[in-house]
């Protein structure tokens, strides 16, 4: 007799997602009915550390974000072997490549509950044959999955506009599957000594107005719009300083004028940091002029840290940030509008306080991580129950 299936396997493309996005959540899952929990991802040097911190076994995969047919095939075979060895009852996967490969491997090995977490749509910024291929990949991923969970209502609506089957897509609560640590972020916001220390590490003067960004430093995140807008803010006489926190995933591909501006003394690029949460204390405003999102955790973190937010009206942001209430919303790619919004926040103290307070209330009410984690766990538990009932019904048929 085969070993009974049990537990949950979480698969991501790279370990950075497990390290930053799912920080502490993996350990939490080990205390729920989804245990035992195992994780698997491409290893960039963090996987062992994450495993030790979360108390969850980890398996390194031959996965990377960039396309590589040889490595991707190897990763698929590794996932098939791992799932045969572990015999999980549930596999949870997110990020595009991990979703496709883990979904196929789980289907091939008969994993009964296969949950796709849809974080965003890479196809939104693709064109031509590449876009058609990505649409086909999304359809295949949903077909391989028993359940698809989108991180936001706007993302689900956008799927429908693109012809993807929304009847197969769920959203839990207000959205998100990870939430944010509101208590910690609030403490960070109130820590004047931490703010001084962080700004000191960046070499800032006391009067500089810091515009912060956290995420992948790449064109899809609106970096070109952001850098040019900050340059315009400075030209208007405001001593603005731009801080970019995150991995370089395409600076060399940015326009020449933007690459030149990034070498200015009013720009600080930290690269990746182990724990970005404390860095928010050094910001005066958080700006995310992205071209596409699902439901960005960085906005939730900024809200929880009582920061005013300026965001684009792309999928995942337009329905998340309420203009004038929890932030300022500007058109995607609009350098002038982004600069004007940043100037408004810099010069209007009452506006800055109002949208910061509104964002903080939204984080507390809808996105505290304990509430989001419990909702996500209940969703996966229901998915399991549905699959068990479905299997029992098939066995009862004459």
Complete DSSP assignment for 142-168: HHH-SEEEES-HHHHHHHHHTT--GGG
- Alpha-carbon span 367 to 108, nearest angstrom: 36
pLDDT in tens, the chain (398 residues): 678 899 999 999 999 889 988 999 999 999 999 999 999 999 999 999 999 999 999 999 998 777 788 899 999 999 999 999 999 999 999 888 888 899 999 999 999 999 999 998 888 888 899 888 888 888 989 999 999 999 999 999 999 998 888 998 999 999 999 999 999 999 999 999 999 999 999 999 778 999 999 999 999 999 999 999 999 999 999 999 999 999 888 899 999 999 999 999 999 999 988 788 999 999 999 999 999 999 999 999 999 999 999 999 999 999 999 999 999 999 999 999 999 999 999 999 999 999 999 999 999 999 999 999 999 999 999 999 988 887 766 655 55
10 Å CB burial of residue 131 (0-12, 13-18, 19+) is: middle
- Alpha-carbon span 173 to 269, nearest angstrom: 35
* 263 backbone dihedrals φ, ψ, rounded to 5°: -90, 5
Quick check: 34 and 3 in contact, CB under 8 A?
A: no
User: Whole-structure pTM over 0.85, yes or no?
Assistant: yes
Quick check: 111 and 91 in contact, CB under 8 A?
A: yes
Q: What is the SS3 assignment for 262-297?
A: CCCCCEEEEECCCCHHHHHHHCCEEEECCCCCCCCH
Q: First-to-last CA distance in the chain?
A: 24
- Alpha-carbon span 340 to 342, nearest angstrom: 5
- Alpha-carbon span 220 to 214, nearest angstrom: 13
**What pLDDT sits at residue 205?**
79
Joined tokens for residue 153: 């209502």
**What pLDDT sits at residue 1?**
61
CA 222 to chain centre: 15
Residue among 157, 121, 113, 153 at smallest CA distance from 139? 121
- Measured in residues, the chain has a length of 398
Quick check: 221 and 245 in contact, CB under 8 A?
A: no
């Amino acid at each position: 007799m085969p070993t009974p299936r049990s537990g949950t396997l979480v698969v991501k493309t790279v370990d950075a997602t497990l390290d930053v996005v799912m920080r502490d959540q993996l350990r939490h899952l080990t205390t729920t009915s989804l245990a035992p929990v195992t994780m698997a991802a491409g290893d960039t040097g963090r996987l062992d550390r994450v495993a030790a911190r979360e108390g969850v076994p980890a398996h390194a995969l031959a996965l990377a974000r960039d396309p590589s047919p040889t490595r991707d095939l190897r990763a698929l075979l590794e996932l098939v072997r791992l799932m045969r060895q572990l015999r999980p009852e549930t596999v949870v996967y997110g990020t595009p490549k991990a979703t496709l490969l883990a979904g196929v491997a789980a289907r091939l090995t008969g994993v009964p509950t296969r949950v796709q977490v849809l974080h965003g749509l890479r196809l939104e910024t693709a064109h031509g044959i590449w876009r058609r291929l990505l649409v086909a990949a999304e359809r295949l991923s949903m077909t391989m999955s028993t359940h698809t969970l989108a991180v936001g209502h706007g993302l689900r609506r956008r799927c429908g506009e693109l012809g993807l089957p929304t009847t197969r897509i769920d959203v839990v609560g207000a959205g998100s599957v990870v939430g944010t640590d509101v208590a910690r972020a609030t403490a960070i916001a109130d820590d004047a000594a931490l703010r001084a220390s962080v700004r000191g590490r960046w070499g800032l003067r006391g009067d500089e107005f810091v515009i912060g960004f956290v995420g992948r430093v790449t064109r899809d995140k609106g970096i070109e719009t952001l850098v040019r807008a900050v340059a315009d803010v400075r030209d208007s006489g405001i001593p603005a300083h731009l801080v970019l926190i995150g991995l370089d995933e395409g600076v060399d591909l940015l326009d020449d004028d933007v690459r030149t501006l990034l070498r200015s003394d009013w720009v600080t690029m930290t690269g990746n940091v182990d724990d970005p949460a404390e860095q928010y204390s050094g910001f005066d405003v958080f700006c995310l002029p992205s071209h596409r999102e699902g439901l960005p955790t960085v906005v939730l973190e900024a809200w929880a840290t009582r920061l005013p937010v300026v965001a684009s009206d792309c999928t995942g942001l337009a329905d998340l940030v309420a203009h004038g209430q929890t932030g300022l919303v500007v058109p995607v790619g609009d350098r002038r509008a982004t600069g004007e919004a940043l100037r408004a926040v810099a010069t209007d103290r009452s506006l800055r306080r109002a949208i910061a307070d509104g964002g903080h209330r939204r984080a507390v009410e809808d996105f505290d991580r304990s509430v989001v984690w419990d909702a996500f766990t209940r969703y996966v538990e229901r998915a399991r129950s549905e699959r068990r009932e479905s299997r029992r019904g098939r066995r009862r048929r004459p």
